[in-house]
Structure 1
Amino acid sequence: MRFITANLNGVRSAASKGFFDWLDRQGADAVGVQELKAQADVVEAQFRSCGSLNGQFHYAEKKGYSGVGLYLRDCPSDVIVGFDGGEFDGEGRWVEARFDKPGRKLSLISCYFPSGSSGEDRQQAKFRFLDAMHPHLMALKAEREFILVADVNIAHREADLKNWRSNQKNSGFLPEERAWMTRLLGSEKDQGGLVDVYRHLQPDTTDTCYTWWSNRGQAYANNVGWRLDYHLATPGLAALAKKEAIYKGEKFSDHAPLAIDYDFQL
C-alpha cells in the first residue's frame, strides 16, 4: 500500500501547478491532503476524485481556511469527520477512513495541526489542540491500528530543520512542542508508543528530510527547510513500512509530498 501525504496550501493552487496530474501517475492507494483552503462547493465540483481515487473531506467553517481530505482507492467501512466535537472540528482538521474486517480494525487518517506562528493567540490554540489530540490518539491506539498522515507543524529533532539554534523560541520548534512529540513517540509505559515512520526508515538524514520551506527569501533555493509532514503509525503498521520518498521534482506548494510504501493491503 502506498500512502502519500501532501499539504497543498490551497487545492486550487496546487491543481494549477500540476499536483493532480502528478498524483495520477503515482500508483497511490491512499492520499492525505491538508490545507484545502476551499469549501464543499468547489471541492465536490472540481476535486472530488483523482483517477481511481475518491475523496472524503472535512471542511473548515471559515472560507479559504484549513480543511483536510483523504483520497482512497478502496471503499472504507466507515468515515469519521472531526475528532473533538468542539473548538477544532469547526476548523476542518481531521478525516478518518476505517477499513474494518473480522479480526482487524484499521484506520487511515489525514490531519492538519494548527500553526502558532501568527501570534500568541494561535500558539495557545495550538497547545489546546495538542492537549486534546494526545488522549484522542491514545484512545484510538487502544482499539485499532492506524496510520495518521499530517502536517504536524512541529519539527521534532535538531536534525529536522536547518537553523535549529535560531528557532528554539519560535513556534514549530518550541521546547513544549518537541516534548509533546517525544511523549507521543516514547516507548515507556506512560508514553504514546507511536512511530515516526520516516525516522524509522531514515533515522539519520538531515538536509534531505525537509518537507517545508518558507516563501520568504531564498529558503527553498538554499534548502533552509523544516520536516513538518509526518506518517505517525501504530507499531505493527510501522514495522511494515518499506520505502519512503520526498518528492521535490516539482513544486506544488510550500510543502513537498511524502510517500511511504507499506507491505500490506487494505
Structure 2
Amino acid sequence: MGRLATLVGVSLTIASVNVNGIRAAVRERHELNRGLLPWLDSSGVDVVAMQEVRATEEQARKALEPALADGWNLVIADSEFKGRAGVALLSRAEPREVRIGHDDDEFAASGRYIEAEFDGPASGETVTIASLYLPSGSAGTPKQDEKERFLVTFRRFLDLRAEAVAARDGHEMVVCGDWNIAHREEDLKNHKGNHKTSGFLPHEREWMSGVFADGSGWTDIVRHRRPDEVGPYSWWSQRGKAFDNDAGWRIDYHVVTDGLVDRAVADRVDRAGAYDQRWSDHAPVVVTYE
C-alpha cells in the first residue's frame, strides 16, 4: 500500500466502523473482491476504529493476517463474554500508550473501549484515537439498565479526558465508535416512530446534548460539518427493506476535541452500492483531519 508508518506532517484519515464480527467482515464476499480487506486496500485511511469485533486477539489477528503482513498494526480489547462486543484499532503507524477501559470496573473486561496515542498531522502533535462500543440497550430491560450505568461513568470519563487534553499542549483526541444513540431527528429516518426505542429515548438524546454542549470540549464533527443535513446514516436494520429505502440511523460518530474542529477537511460514509455488497450492517464513517 506504500503509506508512511508515521502520521507526522500529513493529513490524518480515520474511519470508524462496527464490523459486526471481524471474521465475517473479512470473509464476506471476499471471493468477489468485497469485504473489509478490499475496502481497506482502497479506503486511503490511516486508522480504523472497529467495534463488535467479536473475536479473541488470536482470532482477529488470523482474520486480518493479510493486512498485518502488509504493515498494519492491531491493538484489541476483546470481551470476557465469548462472541460479544470487542473493540480494536487498526493503524498504519504503530500505536503507543494503549489504554483499555474507561475507568469503570464493571466494564473493564467487556470490550467496550480502547484508546491509543499516535503522532498527529502537525509536527510535534499527539492525537489520542479511541474506539467505543456503547451498549445498545433495550427499553425496560436489564440491558437498558446496563446502558444507563455506562452512560453515567462514561460521561464522567469524557469530562476528565477533555480537561486533560485542554491542559496538554499539542494534544488532541478523537472518540470514534458506535455510540448507539441517534442524537437528533435528522439522525434517523423514522424518528416519529422511535421515541420509545432505545437509541432514541429522550433522556439518551439529552445525554448526547450534554456531551456536545458549548464548553464541554467535545464536538460531533460530522454534524458540525453538515448542520442541516438529514443523515448521513451509517446503520440500517437487517429487517425489511431498510437498506434499500435508506431508512437508517446515524449512530456512528467521530467526537473530537476543540483543536480538531476546524481541521476536519473531508468526511464521508462508505455506504455499499447495494444490499448484497455489504460486509456489515454498518458502513464506515471516514473523516480526514489536517
Which range, TM-score by smaller chain? over 0.9
Shift in alpha-carbon separation, 1:48–1:136, aligned structure 2, 3 A: farther
- 2:48 is matched with which residue: 31, 40, 59? 31
Aligned residue in 2 for 1:135: 156
Aligned residue in 2 for 1:54: 73
CA distance in 1, matches of 2:107, 2:186: 30
Aligned residue in 1 for 2:26: 15
Aligned residue in 2 for 1:230: 253
Identity, in percent, stands at 39
CA distance in 2, matches of 1:134, 1:164: 25
C-alpha distance after superposition, 1:32-86 (max 9, x if no partner):
0000111123113332672332111000011100000001111233111122241
Shift in alpha-carbon separation, 1:53–1:103, aligned structure 2, 3 A: closer
Shift in alpha-carbon separation, 1:200–1:49, aligned structure 2, 3 A: farther
CA distance in 1, matches of 2:84, 2:127: 29
Structure 1 residues 1-266: aligned runs within 5 Å? 1-17=12-28, 18-47=35-64, 50=67, 51-99=70-118, 104-117=125-138, 120-144=141-165, 145-188=172-215, 192-206=216-230, 208-249=231-272, 250-263=277-290
Q: Tell me the SS of whatever aligns to 1:28.
A: coil
CA distance in 1, matches of 2:248, 2:39: 23
CA distance in 2, matches of 1:85, 1:100: 27
User: How many residue pairs end up in the alignment?
Assistant: 259
Shift in alpha-carbon separation, 1:107–1:57, aligned structure 2, 3 A: same
* Native 8 Å contact 1:48 1:55 kept in 2: no
Q: What is the TM-score when the length of structure 2 is the normalising length?
A: 0.85
CA distance in 1, matches of 2:227, 2:27: 35
Q: Tell me the SS of whatever aligns to 2:282.
A: coil
CA distance in 1, matches of 2:182, 2:213: 16
Report the alpha carbon displacement of residue 135 of structure 1 after superposing the two structures with TM: 1.1
CA distance in 2, matches of 1:85, 1:48: 32
Q: Tell me the SS of whatever aligns to 2:286.
A: strand
RMSD: 1.8
Q: What is the TM-score when the length of structure 1 is the normalising length?
A: 0.92
Q: Tell me the SS of whatever aligns to 2:37.
A: helix
